[in-house]
A and B are shown apart, each in its own frame.
Chain A
Amino acid sequence: MDNAPDTALGIGPTVEPGRGMRPSLELSQALEPQSPVALFGADRPLAMDSGVDLSPFQVAYQTAGTLNAARSNAVLICHALTGDQYFAHRHPVTGKPGWWESLVGPGKPVDTDRYFVICSNVIGSCMGSTGPASLDPATGRPYGLDFPLVTIRDMVRAQAMLIEHLGIEDLFLCIGGSMGGMQVLQWAALFPERVFAAMPIATGARHSAQNIAFHEVGRQAIMADPAWAEGRYLEAGTRPAKGLGVARMGAHITYLSEPALHRKFGRRFQGRSAPTFSFNADFQIESYLRHQGLSFVERFDANAYLYLTRAMDYFDLAADHGGVLANAFRDSKTRFCVMSFTSDWLFPTSDSRAIVHALNAAAAPVAFVEVESDKGHDAFLLDEPAMFSAARGFIDAAARARGL
């Protein structure tokens, strides 16, 4: 089988079990992030939906801009599934620029010259906020699957504690896409008086059956990897890189769209002019996906991926309010701007419209824009001038209304 090394993700031989623990980058970020950290001791536990009081715990965060004297210009950015707090800062592992520098920065729609912008790593993730890769104080070893299941509401509660810790009473704006959009909706539902304006982008008030299905495939890929070691891979010194890589490959397809895939890759061959009659990565799209899988495992923890996908699956804001989504926003004074993208089939426009209808029924002020894009779900992270102009209009008008 001379084509064997090219058939898998190409990382199998380097992560044989029992090679001894090597300090991986993502683990070091989980324990000692290169960003500020808010520590919450035994006196301030995180009351989680699972019934567990998590204590002690920490929230890693980044900020940009300056808080004004009235403390009225705070913006909270909520990151997506595999995102982190480095929204406008170089990533400590990949060295890449901040993930939302297209939208956030000096003179950008979320203007760091005007607003104090905060983004924290969510609870359950692996970039410095407490999660399954953190050390369990009860045992001194990584939590692994002993970490309590996390919900979107738990993430928001932790963020609220961080905001308080920073001396901020209420947010001028809460904004985020995908899982970040779920947090925005949860913020508006849980703390309506503490969110002046909310922008949930490319998201839904609940995770659809199809989306749960895709997540389950990813989780099963991770758990089917022997190197996962029942979630104890950090102590075993292994990494379920193959499983996590496959999970990422599958998920990545859901972030794109058929037209975008066709435009970028079509059926073009990768570095060859004819098929090799093997299972090599003949096609550019195969090569691209393998690269996505490989680069992802360098920066992300497999157990954190299990926990965060589960948090999204459990999200159903209507179910938390007697089955009526409008009840989640009753008497809300928050001004909303909901945004979707035409080619997003993971969180299609119909999901956003359901949010808009609920907000209308609750008589909350809501704007809605569907941005024409062929870039699929990931469009919210990319250069989409129509998104920027709508965001700028909404945020500028909200700032005027708040006297900023």
Chain B
Amino acid sequence: MSGAHKTGLAPWQATEALPRSEAEGGATRVDHLVVLGFVPPGARVLDIGCGDGALLALLRDRRGVDGRGIELSREGVNACLARGLPVIQGDADTDLANYPDDAFDVVVLSQTIQATRNPKIVLEHLLRIGQQVIISFPNFGHWRVRAELAFRGRMPMTEILPEAWYETPNIHHCTIRDFVGLCRLVGAKIETAAALDASGRPMRFSMPWWFWNLIGAQGVFLLRRDGTR
């Protein structure tokens, strides 16, 4: 663990640049504001697993991005259509192969990688399609998750992992340290990383990986293809 998270612009610095009223606005999710802080104005953005399009709409309205989305659920796609967002009904596991290299400035995969069938292949596609990749996921190394497993001997159910093991779509859980290992394996350069608490608020201090891996409920990473490999 090289402390790569200490380089570059930390996400909370970016979010602090926003007017306070926006950051505290009840309608906008805090983790969306973290992503917003990573995305340059006018960028071409692909949001994979974009849900009802709230993040894409935010990026369009605040950053003037040319945003596209992929969403599995019909309800989500319909909500996106009503927002005027070009979103296709599709599946990260099967559809990313059809996108050309460098098709987007930024690719966002929010709280979805743990639900894909093949996270490694998905991550490789993200790095191929986007100049930059913003990826967030629930941290299975969080102390509450560890405590549930260690002391109760049960699969954890927490605020950000609310489903029981038999109905959760999350089939490939990982910890923040696991994810850092995958980044190394596929040749992803970590430009910035942050741990968020359960409400998606960035944790406003810098700590070594093992600490984040223990107290971060979610990890957010800004990645780029490692050109040196």
Q: List residues of chain A with CB under 8 Å of any chain B CB.
A: 335-338, 353, 356-357, 360-361, 363, 365-372, 386, 389-390, 392-394, 396-398, 400-401
Count: A-B pairs, CB below 8 Å:
68
A338 to B83, CA, bound (A): 16
A393 touches B87 (CB 8 A): no
A367 touches B77 (CB 8 A): yes
Q: List residues of chain B with CB under 8 Å of any chain A CB.
A: 44, 66, 68, 74, 77-90, 95, 98-100, 103
**Most chain-A CB neighbours within 10 Å: which of B44, B84, B87?**
B84
5 contacts between A and B (CB under 8 A): A356-B88, A367-B81, A367-B85, A367-B87, A368-B90
B84 touches A401 (CB 8 A): yes
Closest to B77 in A: A369
A366 CB contacts on chain B under 8 angstroms: 68, 86, 88
A369 touches B84 (CB 8 A): no
**Most chain-A CB neighbours within 10 Å: which of B80, B86, B98?**
B86
Q: A227 → chain B, closest Cβ, in Å?
A: 47
Given A367-B87, A369-B89, answer yes or no on A389-B99 (Cβ-Cβ < 8 Å). no
B77 CB contacts on chain A under 8 angstroms: 367-369, 390
A371 CB contacts on chain B under 8 angstroms: 74
A389 touches B78 (CB 8 A): yes
Q: B101 → chain A, closest Cβ, in Å?
A: 11
Given A369-B77, A390-B78, A393-B81, answer yes or no on A363-B103 (Cβ-Cβ < 8 Å). yes
A361 touches B84 (CB 8 A): no
Q: Which of B81, B88, B95, B98 contacts A394 (CB 8 A)?
A: B81
Q: Which of A336, A365, A372, A396 contacts B82 (CB 8 A)?
A: A396
B98 CB contacts on chain A under 8 angstroms: 357, 360-361
Given A360-B99, A386-B74, answer yes or no on A367-B88 (Cβ-Cβ < 8 Å). yes
Closest to B100 in A: A361
A370 touches B84 (CB 8 A): no
A397 to B74, CA, bound (A): 17
A367 touches B99 (CB 8 A): no
Q: B177 → chain A, closest Cβ, in Å?
A: 35
